[in-house]
Structure 1
Amino acid sequence: MYIIVGTGAGGGILAYELARNGQEVIILEKGQYINPKDGFNYYNEYVPDVDLLATTCVGGSTIVSMANMVRALDSELHQYGIDLTDEYEYLEKLVGVHELDDSHIGRGTQLFLDAANELGLNTQKMPKAIREEECVQCGRCAFGCPANAKWTAKDFVDKAVEAGAELISGANVKDIILCNLEACGVKYIKDGEEYLLKSDKIILCAGAVESAVILRSSGLTGIGRELFFDPFVTVGGYLKDIKFNSEVQMAGLVIGKNFVLSPHFSSFIKDNINRDDVRDEDILSIMVKTPDEAKGYVHSDGFINKVNTINDIRYLAEGVAVAGMILEKAGVDPTTIGSTVYRGAHPGGTVPIGKVVDSNLETEIPNLYVCDASVLPISPGKPPILTILALAKRLADYLLNK
């Protein structure tokens, strides 16, 4: 029997692949089973010291993701003997990864693409897992899709349950149980009661912070010492009646050496634009996202320390400068350009491949695996969902063939 802890990108596809191949699977999720349109209500509590965006619910942060699906860290993973080519092709077909039809590329996004092309930048449409026939183009992807038009990991969890897996939501896993120095179960809390659940294989997919905390409490060392998260800001300005706020978000992409840019509306940006009459409908804005050096630390209680290096700051400044050029070229009044505060997304690196887990994602404790962003050896600096899905598919195949 397999116990899978967490229902994000890694946990969802693992549960589905194992269950549909006849394996007994129990899925433990700290959060609740929700309707994806209510995802905004399940963002984790704001912590002033580290503004890190994540949600706790069935489907994890994929519920409020933009369904962006890009391949990342190919050459870096090759160093560990990991080639995800076949897994990428399988998953891209399975979840319907494609560039959006022109019908779902709004005026603001098209201005972004055209301006970036004129500036000679590496520009493309963002590969996404969105069903255009269901998408109502409301601009609320980050709130949870009101039309359920995008892929989320909850889709795989539902299919896993249909195939025979058991889902236990509201289950907060605290420790890994060991028998003769091997993983043999987990201890979790639900509704104030403690439970022990035995299994011969445990897969942690609880996210970079939660997986690190569980492993620390279970006695593993060297955990949580190389936390990264993709720093980002959103830069925008005034362009009357652009109505970008109601478009499909992040439908375009510019890939720089040290950053990626994507058109993205933030409700926080209006307060940072130097104009009194600006409305949400008058803002065109761009997300600037960079890879960061893994200089963070996760404590045993889940508290995070994060250090920004000179390179982190320099890369973000480079991206902001290019975003400003694109906005001006697109017709934004340059005297109104402002920015949101520095934030973080996509935490990872706390249980890195090659240091804490091997190339098959197994820890030094036999039968204990980890498969979420925590295993990524460095920051991808771009959306990691497809890479996590591919690693999980590879692990599922390994376990089925083992």
Structure 2
Amino acid sequence: MVIVVGTGAGGGILAYELTKNNIPVIIIEKGPYIDSKDAFNYYDKYSDDVDLLTTTCIGGASIVAMGNMVRALDEELHEFGIDLSDAYEYVEKLVGVHQLDDSHIGKGTQAFLDAGNELGLQTLKMPKAIREEDCIQCGKCAFGCPVNAKWSGKDFVDAAVENGATLICDAEVVEVISEGGNAHGVVYMKDNKVESIYSNTVVLSAGAIGTTLILRNSGIDGVGEEIFFDPFVSVGGCLKDINFNTEVQMAGLVIGKNFVLSPHFSSFIRANISGGDVTDKDILSIMVKTSDECRGYVDENGDVVKINTINDIRYLAEGVATAGFILEKAGVDPSTIGSTVYRGAHPGGTAPIGKIVDSNQETEIKGLFVSDASVLPISPGKPPILTILALSKRLADYLIENK
């Protein structure tokens, strides 16, 4: 039997692949089982100093992600003897990664793509895992899809349960039971009671912060001493009646040397742009996202302390300037352009490959594995979900072969 802790991108596909191969699985999720349309109610709060977007519920952060699926860190992972080529191809087919049909590319996204091309930028449609036949183009991707048209880890968890997995929700794993350097199970809290489940194989997929705290409580040193997340802002302005706020979000992509840009509507942006008669339907906006230099840490309470380097700020500024050029070229009134506050997404790097886990994602405790963004050795500067899925598929194959 395998215990899988967490139901996001990493935990969901692990549970699915293992149960598909007749391996008994118990899945433990800290948050509740919910409908995807209600996911916006389960965003986490860390501290007043860091605005970091994560959720605690079935599906983890994948349930409020945009369905973006891009390969990342291919060459960097080769340094650790990890080749994800086959895993990428498998996962892309499994979740249906593709560029959206033209029917689901709205006026705002097309204006972004056209402007990027006119400026000579590396511009393309974003690869996504969204089913057009179900998508109603409501613009609510980041709130949890109201019609389940977007892939999330919840899809794999539901399939794993159909295959025989046991799912325990509203249960917080606090530590891994080990003896003699071997894993023997987990201790968790549910309904204010301490419970234990025993197994010689445990996979932590509780996210960069959750996994960090479990590993620390389990006696593993050096975890959470560094953390990365993708710093981002949304920059936008007035383009009358563009109706971008109701489009599929982040359906386009511009790849810069030090940043990526994608059309993205933020509910916070209207308060930060000029023009008293501007409404949400009049805003075209772009998310500016960069990689960072992994400066910061997770403290003993699970709060994130983030340090921004000169390069972090420089790369973000380069992206913001380029976004401004695209917006103006797309027809936005430059006098109205404003920005949201600095935020963060996709935390990771707290239990990196080569330091806390080996190339098979196993810790110093035999039988204890990690498979989420924690293990990424550096910030990808791109959506990491596809990479996490591929790593988890690779780990599932390893566990199946060694059972």
TM-score in terms of structure 1 length = 0.99
Counterparts of 1:247-396 in structure 2 under 5 Å?
Answer: 247-396=247-396
Provide the rounded CA distance (Å) in 2 between the counterparts of 1:226 and 1:389: 22
Equivalent residue letter for 1:382: K
Runs of at least 5 residues in structure 2 that lack an aligned partner in the other structure: none
Provide the rounded CA distance (Å) in 1 between the counterparts of 2:296 and 2:272: 28
8 A Cα contact 1:62 1:153, kept in partner:
yes
Equivalent residue letter for 1:373: A
Equivalent residue letter for 1:246: T
- Give 3-state SS (helix, strand or coil) of 2:53's partner: coil
- Give 3-state SS (helix, strand or coil) of 1:82's partner: coil
Per-residue CA deviation, residues 156-200 of structure 1 (Å, 9 max, x unaligned), is 000000111100001100011112221101100001000011101
Match of 1:236 in 2: 236
Per-residue CA deviation, residues 22-71 of structure 1 (Å, 9 max, x unaligned), is 10100000001100011111111263111000110110011111000000
8 A Cα contact 1:208 1:349, kept in partner:
yes
| 1:119 to partner: Cα distance | 0.3
| 1:229 to partner: Cα distance | 0.3
8 A Cα contact 1:174 1:188, kept in partner:
yes
Equivalent residue letter for 1:10: G
- Give 3-state SS (helix, strand or coil) of 1:332's partner: coil
Equivalent residue letter for 2:282: D
Match of 1:4 in 2: 4
8 A Cα contact 1:217 1:300, kept in partner:
no
Provide the rounded CA distance (Å) in 2 between the counterparts of 1:353 and 1:179: 23
Structure 1 residues 182 and 361 mapped into 2: Cα distance closer, same or farther (>3 Å)? same
Provide the rounded CA distance (Å) in 2 between the counterparts of 1:269 and 1:140: 15
- Give 3-state SS (helix, strand or coil) of 1:70's partner: coil
Match of 2:139 in 1: 139
| 1:364 to partner: Cα distance | 0.7
8 A Cα contact 1:87 1:393, kept in partner:
yes
After the TM superposition, list the runs of 4 or more consecutive aligned residues in structure 1 that deviate by more than 6 angstroms.
none
| 1:335 to partner: Cα distance | 0.5
Provide the rounded CA distance (Å) in 2 between the counterparts of 1:170 and 1:179: 27
Provide the rounded CA distance (Å) in 1 between the counterparts of 2:175 and 2:46: 25
Provide the rounded CA distance (Å) in 2 between the counterparts of 1:196 and 1:241: 56
Provide the rounded CA distance (Å) in 1 between the counterparts of 2:217 and 2:49: 24
Provide the rounded CA distance (Å) in 1 between the counterparts of 2:21 and 2:300: 36
Provide the rounded CA distance (Å) in 2 between the counterparts of 1:45 and 1:305: 13
8 A Cα contact 1:213 1:299, kept in partner:
no
Match of 1:214 in 2: 214
Provide the rounded CA distance (Å) in 2 between the counterparts of 1:196 and 1:274: 56
Match of 2:225 in 1: 225
Provide the rounded CA distance (Å) in 1 between the counterparts of 2:294 and 2:226: 5
Equivalent residue letter for 1:151: W
Match of 1:181 in 2: 181
8 A Cα contact 2:54 2:61, kept in partner:
yes
Provide the rounded CA distance (Å) in 2 between the counterparts of 1:185 and 1:44: 27
Provide the rounded CA distance (Å) in 2 between the counterparts of 1:104 and 1:330: 19
Runs of at least 5 residues in structure 1 that lack an aligned partner in the other structure: none
